[in-house]
Amino acid sequence: MRILYIRDDLEKTVVAKPYIATVPVGYAEKVDVTSPTVSGFTPDKPVVSLDFASFTTDTDIEVVYKANTVDYLVEHLVENLARDGFELHKTETKQGKVEELLQASPIVIEGFTAQVPFQEAKIPVEGTLKLQVHYTRNVYQITYDTDGGSYVPSEQRAYEEALAAPAEPTKAGYTFGGWKPALPAMMPASNVEVKAEWIEGEATLHRFAYHVQNADTTSTPWSVTSTNSARPGMS
C-alpha cells in the first residue's frame, strides 16, 4: 500500500516522497504515519492510521496539501514634488495563498495617476511578498482671464506645486485689483481659472476757455469757460 502526498491542484503535484509499505495478506500490525511537513502547505490528514489487516489489495491513500493563506504587502508610492523620485504614501496588508499569482491593485490618490502595467508576482513559500504601485503627479492648467487687460499666458503646474502670481496685467483707465477667485498657494487637483478685477480710475476735471473776437475788431473780445469731467481712457 502507498500514501501519496500531493497538492490540491489539477496536476496533483507531488510534494513529498510517498510512504510505501509491503506486507503479507493478513498482517495484523497497526501503525500511525505522520504526514511530512511541507513549507507553506497544510495536509488534510496530519496523521494516517493504518490497520494492515483491513487491506486485502494494493491501496493508495492520498494526503492532499492545501496552500496556506498568508499576508502580503502592497506599497503605494507617489512621485515627490521635485519629480525626481518616489516616496511611500501608504502600505496595505492583504492576504493570498502561497504560490498564488497576484497583481497589485491601485487605489485612488487625489492628484496622482497610477502607472501601468501593475506589478505581478507569486507569493513565495518563504518570506513576505511585497508589491508596489507607482503614481505620477498630475499636471493641471492655470488660465488667466484679464477681462480686456493685457495678455497673461496660461501656465501648467504639477499638483501641490507652489504657485507665484504672474506679472500684473494692465488696462488703460484702470488699476489692477487682483485675481478672483484668489490664486491658491499651491496647485490643486484640478484646472484653475481666475479673472482680473479692475478698479476704475478717478475722473479728471478739464477746463476749456474759448476767446471770441468781435466782428468789428475794435471792441473788446469776450470769452467763455467750459469745465468737463473725464475718466482716463475716455475721449
Answer with the residue of higher pLDDT: 134 or 53. 134
Name the CA radius of gyration of the chain, rounded: 43
Answer with the residue of higher pLDDT: 217 or 31. 31
Dump strand ranges (E) for 60-123. 60-67, 69-79, 86-97, 101-103, 112-114, 120-122
CA distance readout (Å), 31 to 58, 81, 116: 17, 68, 56
- Residue 234's pLDDT band (cuts 50, 70, 90): low
pLDDT at 169: 97
pLDDT at 28: 84
Q: How far apart are CA 48 and CA 135, in angstroms?
A: 52
Q: How far apart are CA 28 and CA 44, in angstroms?
A: 26
Q: How far apart are CA 183 and CA 144, in angstroms?
A: 10
| Cis amide leading into 117 (omega within 30) | yes
CATH of domain 139-200: 2.60.40.4270
CA distance readout (Å), 37 to 4, 64, 68: 14, 12, 13
pLDDT at 53: 87
- C-beta separation of 90 from 76 below 8 A: yes
- Residue 25's pLDDT band (cuts 50, 70, 90): confident
CATH topology agreement for domains 2-67 and 139-200 = yes
Three-class DSSP category at 7: strand
pLDDT at 13: 95
pLDDT digits (tens, 9 = 90+) for 137-191: 999 999 999 999 999 999 999 999 999 999 999 999 999 999 999 999 999 999 9
In the chain, what is the greatest distance between 2 CA atoms, to the nearest angstrom? 163
Q: List beta partners, residue 8.
A: none
Q: How far apart are CA 157 and CA 161, in angstroms?
A: 6
**Mean pLDDT rounded to a whole number for the chain:** 90
Q: List beta partners, residue 204.
A: 230
- C-beta separation of 207 from 192 below 8 A: no
pLDDT digits (tens, 9 = 90+) for 198-231: 999 865 545 555 555 555 655 555 555 555 555 5
Question: Which segment of 13-22, 52-61, 87-96, 113-122 scores lowest on mean pLDDT?
Answer: 52-61
pLDDT at 1: 87
- C-beta separation of 81 from 161 below 8 A: yes
Q: How far apart are CA 49 and CA 47, in angstroms?
A: 6
Query: What is 2-67's CATH topology?
Result: Immunoglobulin-like (2.60.40)
Q: What is the DSSP letter of 56?
A: -
- The ranges assigned to domains in the chain are 2-67, 69-137, 139-200
Q: How far is CA 72 from the centre of its chain?
A: 20
Q: Is it the case that residue 69 has pLDDT exceeding 60?
A: yes
pLDDT digits (tens, 9 = 90+) for 73-115: 999 999 999 999 999 999 999 999 999 999 999 999 999 999 9
* pTM greater than 0.85 (yes/no): no
